[in-house]
Amino acid sequence: MPPWILEVGKSNPDIYYTNRSGARNQEYLTIGVDNQPIFQERTAVELYRDFMKSFRENMADFLDAGVVTDVEVGLGPSGELRYPSYPEAQGWVFPASAREFKEAATVAGHPEWDLPDDAGEYNASPKSTKFFAAKGTYLMNSGIFFLTWYSNKLIMHGDQILDAANEAFLGCKVKIVAKATGIHWWYKDDSHAAELTAGYYNLNDRDGYRPIARMLARHDAILNFTCAEMINSEQIKMAMSGAEELVQQVIKVGFGDGTPRMHAWFIVWHCMPGIQCSMEEGIEVACEHALSRYDRRGYNQILRNSRPQGIDRSGKPQRRVFAMTYLRLSDELLKMVNFRIFRTFVRRMHADQDYCPDPWKYYKPITAMQRSKAATPMEKILEAAEPAPPYAFDPETDTSVGGPYAELIDTLLGLFD
């Protein structure tokens, strides 16, 4: 936060998210001030808009030259569209404006409803709370109303900021990107407690990600999702992680045709030029990995998620993500064994095709940004919460970078690295 924002926070600390113990989270402004003109007579949305316009003006040379092709717009903590539901060293309670929720509950005919006070603390397990336990508050009318309101506020926040981004970059040859994070712990618990707390109203009978995708569609924005490298068996059992199922659930909202191709700067792969993608919600979905990985298992999982039906040697693959971001260039990556494996991974991501020296052929040409479409009514957005039929991913990638025997060789070579 810039110092002049922190100055406002000294006299009005409610501009920050606050946990049950009263600790303020200064990583991001609460969405409760999105439309409050308390920052030198500007609202938070206006601050974000002006920042993006300033970025466009100061980076015009890079934008005009096509050096910058994607603009990932920060929509929350760590740049992700979510509430700060798992800050380190802090407890947590639902971050919201009590007054605003009370007004919404009163309009709905239930003035007696308040914000949940039975959702537990930061490290609580779902079954230890009244809210997320079996037959808990989250299944009652008051809980359903709150979770709907809570998640809708997040979608509305993202919609407003992306509309401002569209206005700021209008006419530029860039794509807007919004990032949602892979909150995979408690995914296999009926309550999906961690996702609900972050603002993703996702249950076994309710899709919490397709409504977000439907909102993004009006801005022609790309959805970037994390955890592409995660494997369930690598997670501790008590976390009830469903990383693989979660990634598959989100990625399928943007299934299309084409081969992921490598971007000019090696960290992002894009689909082939001229390919029109057929998508469940009319958007593209990109992916990235959450943790640093240099091993073959992690790379194989990324390849599996990037092309869930594998490659088609006679033409385009039936399904693929739009882009994959590799994190990140480091000394560890450049070690002999790690870099050798990475080179193989890059080759497999290209489906073993020959290198093309023209970067503009690596992905669909990006046209000048058009104005966002008319706002989508929330009722229409929430229709997307109806779960879509599951889609089967191949059990393994057909472009593997190697298995156990290759890993053994890696271990031996690593002794001399």
- d(CA 290, CA 279) in angstroms, rounded, equals 24
Residue 39 neighbours by CB under 8 Å, 6+ apart = 5, 8, 46, 47
CB-based contact 181:82 (threshold 8 Å): yes
H or E element in which residue 16 lies? strand 16-18
Identify the DSSP state of 379: H
- d(CA 52, CA 310) in angstroms, rounded, equals 38
- d(CA 330, CA 188) in angstroms, rounded, equals 34
The DSSP code sequence of 135-174 is T-GGGSHHHHHHHHHHHHHHHHHHHHHHHHHHHHTTTSS-
Catalytic one of 46, 72, 80, 167: 80
- d(CA 87, CA 154) in angstroms, rounded, equals 18
Which of 224, 216, 212 is closest to 165 using CA atoms? 216
Cis before 328? omega within 30: yes
- Residue that has been written with the tokens 């709905």 in this structure: 108
- d(CA 370, CA 360) in angstroms, rounded, equals 20
Is 88 among the residues known to form the active site? no
Is 80 among the residues known to form the active site? yes
- d(CA 103, CA 101) in angstroms, rounded, equals 5
- Please state, in angstroms and as integers, the Cα–Cα distance from residue 154 to each residue in 149, 151, 245, following that order: 9, 5, 23
Four-CA torsion 10, 13, 19, 21, nearest 10 degrees? 60
SS3 category, 344: helix
Catalytic one of 195, 244, 284, 288: 288
N-terminal to C-terminal alpha carbon distance within the chain = 42
User: What residues are annotated to the active site?
Assistant: 80, 288
